[in-house]
Chains A and B, each alone.
Chain A
Amino acid sequence: MTTTTADVVSAQKTRTWKSIVGNFLIRNIMVVVMLLIVAFFAYRSARFATPDNLVTILVAAAPFALIALGQTLVILTGGIDLSVGSVIAASAMAAAWSAKNLGDNPLYPLLAALLAGLAAGAINGFVVSRLNVPPFIATLGMLTLASGVAYVIGNGAPINGLPASYGVWANTEFLGFTVPVILMIVAIIVFAFVMRRTSYGLRVYAIGGNRLAAEIAGVRSKRLLFSVYAISGILAGLSGLMLSSRVSTGAPNLGQGYELDAIAAVVIGGASLMGGRGSVWGTALGLLLIQTINNGLDLLLVPAYWQDVIKGVIIVAAVAADVWASKRRT
């Protein structure tokens, strides 16, 4: 890092090893929390720390990863997308409908899911960026609307009896990983690159940090806002396809409540709901944290209702620790 101090020598802070280590721990408190949780589960369950179990965690994480990435972009702009759970359902139903009615070609459900997700996201984006409706309200409306559309497509019932090709999206394996897991890993890397290294990423951070200042610096904020909701919609569409492909069924209640886990992952990852602060790596970590807790509690045979109680406590405690640490960062 170049120092731009030209005429005044800034007082070099004296640093001891102890303070360096302390600082590192505080700076990466979420990693510390994650390691503690992993250590705990590994100690209590022999099956936890095995390669098979790691794959299980990744498979469970994949559909959440896609919507959490979209959510990261939206939250970085200072918005929120509450509709992703319902968009998953509507996209899954659209995909299943196309597979059943258009013919036995895996590209039909892919296109149908992407289009359904894009349509929902584009409407969100239009309402937020052009009609200036607060994102919370706009996407709350879409949550209800998309859920309704999902039931309309199936006439209130799931769509079963899908052609075998419908399963390829979730069940094909490369190098031991299924498509959703590979998609998750690729998406995290691509989004991390986009957010850190491209002008698009910087603009997203900028409008979240201060929209007026960003506009004055030449950022076209309306287009940009539109784009993040559209991306969030497309990713929810993909997630819907993966989830329904895994069970070869289109269920209108698929993805219900997933938006909350996605938001939790982003917030645990250190993002501010005010916008402008957060990162893709943080979201990935938050996502893994939640999925690891789910998986570990399953292995320890903790009853499902207690799992929710414990998860709720850990989410709030993790963010409280982050807030505590951020006050002590130097």
Chain B
Amino acid sequence: MPPTDVDAASQPAMLACENIKMSFGGIPVLKGVDLSLEPGTVTALAGENGAGKSTLMKIASGQYRPDAGTVYVRDRQLPMGNLKASNRLGIAIVPQELASIPELTVYENLYIGRETRTPLGTLNRRAMIGEATVKLREFGVDIDPAVQMGSLPVGMRQIIEIVKATSRGARVLLLDEPTSAIAEREVAHLYDVVRNLRDQGVAVLFTTHKMEEMRAMADRVVVLRDGQLITDSALADITDDDIVTAMIGRELENLFPEIPRHKDDVVLEATDLVIAPEAEPISFRVRRGEILGLAGLVGAGRTELIECIYGIRTPVSGTITVSGNVLKPGQPQASIERHIAIVPEDRKGAGAIMPLSVIDNATLPRLDIFSKFGVITRRKRQAAIGEAMRSMRLKSDGLGQAIENLSGGNQQKVVLGRWLTATVDALLLDEPTRGVDVGARSEIYRIITELAEEGMAVVMASSDMPEILSLTHRALVMREFSVAGELNREQLTSPDAQDTIFRLASGLETSHPTHTEELAP
């Protein structure tokens, strides 16, 4: 489906892709995509994981050679699969996985591969530092270029990558998932950098599946689904719902299921828990069937709180009890015996064990019930794990498949589902839908509410505001490793809930105003 032409352009487009087709291993990923970018515009390339966004970017930047189609940069045909040539024509790409070298300094990263030299051929460090300082200033980055890259926050590194990519006079900038790894407060700076480049006449294309990001940065959105361009519209002319519908290809009438009523008996209780030196003590109770949200900015201590509850981290002081039993700090295996389950934030680093199969991953936390005298009882685990994965609606080629070959959403289902082969009283979720596409996301929400309904006490840390607002009975807002405020269900459904949470999280407000009286039924 060709896009509607924005204008009968008097000037050639900055970048024009025509009828791009590409397949991997016989599976078509792009089925004839046309896309053109005008100078001084920011275009969001939206789509679910696997829609072909990254592939299209890699073709446009010369990393991949497509099976068919051509790319023009200002009417000049791009030699395909030639990264250097496209670089010369002014195309710059900042990949999703940061390519910076953390051990080197900022200026070394900026100049690597095209170092400034002295007449003797040695590195002219002073010249590079001087130029780097000027360039960084242009982007509103006021740091010493001689600091180590690895000492900077991820968001800053991202911006330095953009500076590096555009410093050779790029006319087209391609950003692959620019905010996937960076903290919220750094995102604003990234937006500024992108707008700055747009005003200089650069054509920017970025991939995303986040609505707020499109609204904040883009003037135009194109949606890619199953290798085809589905929608091409000015952002002002399209609603969020239309974009989501275009991305997933069906109506998503209810992303969030109705959350069930909780019971009265307390399952999980934290008493005067101090999770970092000089932080305020934290106390809360979670009842059977209740979903407690943990909101806050990145670095506010949500992950640390969850890790203290689970026993990966030892708190400064305070106790955790589950069903009346005090947990030993720093001992995950003791927590597992007390029926606590965790889905960690970093799925690849702390959740899934990539070389292992689905069934081995799912066996691990329950090894004791699946083995007799140390020997694994195969039939029992096959049955129990098969059942658990069916309830998660896992899509795989069988339980023997390596988990690394599954999509992010399905990996997450294994990391969550592996606990369901035995009783779980308290379920700890840390960013349960990070890196999970919209379709699988609604399934994970359904699963979480079902588990709560079955009687689990759920604690869910999330940076995704709609998740906190729509999926929790109660939310604690964290700041500086302490609880800055608490919102109940009525407050969470009030129109200014998001604003209240933000104010609490950023410290603009210390106690929260309540609208409970007016809004209570």
Contacts and interface: CB of A to CB of B under 8 A. Distances in A.
Interface of A: 1-8, 10, 197-200, 202-203, 205-206, 208-210, 212-220, 272, 276-277, 330
A217 B355 contact: no
A146 to B, nearest CB: 31
Given A197-B376, A202-B363, A218-B333, A4 B386 contact: yes
B390 A4 contact: yes
Q: Determine which residue in A3, A6, A215, A217 has the highest number of CB atoms from chain B within 10 A of its CB, and name it.
A: A217
Contacts of A198: 371, 374-376
Interface in B297-323: 310, 312
B332 A216 contact: yes
B369 to A, nearest CB: 10
B343 to A, nearest CB: 10
A200 B378 CA distance: 15
B386 A202 contact: no
Contacts of B395: 4-6, 8, 10
B467 interface: no
Given A4-B399, A199-B374, A213 B350 contact: yes
B394 interface: yes
B382 interface: yes
9 contacts: A5-B396, A6-B393, A202-B376, A209-B354, A210-B352, A212-B350, A213-B349, A216-B312, A218-B365
A203 B374 CA distance: 11
B327 interface: no
Contacts of B507: none
Given A3-B398, A199-B376, A202-B363, A216 B350 contact: yes
Interface string B375-396: 1101000100010011001111
Contacts of A213: 344, 349-353
B364 A219 contact: yes
B336 interface: yes
Given A2-B399, A210-B349, A218-B333, A199 B367 contact: yes
B518 interface: no
Interface in B160-176: none
A212 B333 CA distance: 13
Interface of B: 25, 310, 312, 332-333, 336, 342, 344, 349-356, 360, 363-365, 367-368, 370-371, 374-376, 378, 382, 386, 389-390, 393-400, 418
A276 to B, nearest CB: 4
A251 B414 CA distance: 54
Contacts of A6: 390, 393-395
Q: Which 8 A-B pairs have the closest CB atoms?
A: A276-B355, A209-B353, A1-B398, A218-B333, A217-B364, A217-B365, A210-B353, A199-B371
Contacts of A215: 312, 332
A206 B403 CA distance: 13
Given A197-B375, A197-B376, A216-B350, A205 B356 contact: yes
B353 A214 contact: yes
B119 to A, nearest CB: 42
B351 A2 contact: no
Contacts of B356: 205-206, 209, 276
A218 B338 CA distance: 12
Nearest to B344: A216
A208 to B, nearest CB: 8
A1 B386 CA distance: 10
Nearest to A5: B395
Nearest to A272: B355
A68 to B, nearest CB: 20
Given A4-B395, A206-B364, A276-B353, 15 more contacts: A2-B386, A5-B396, A10-B395, A197-B378, A198-B371, A199-B375, A202-B364, A202-B367, A202-B376, A210-B349, A210-B350, A210-B353, A215-B312, A217-B365, A218-B367
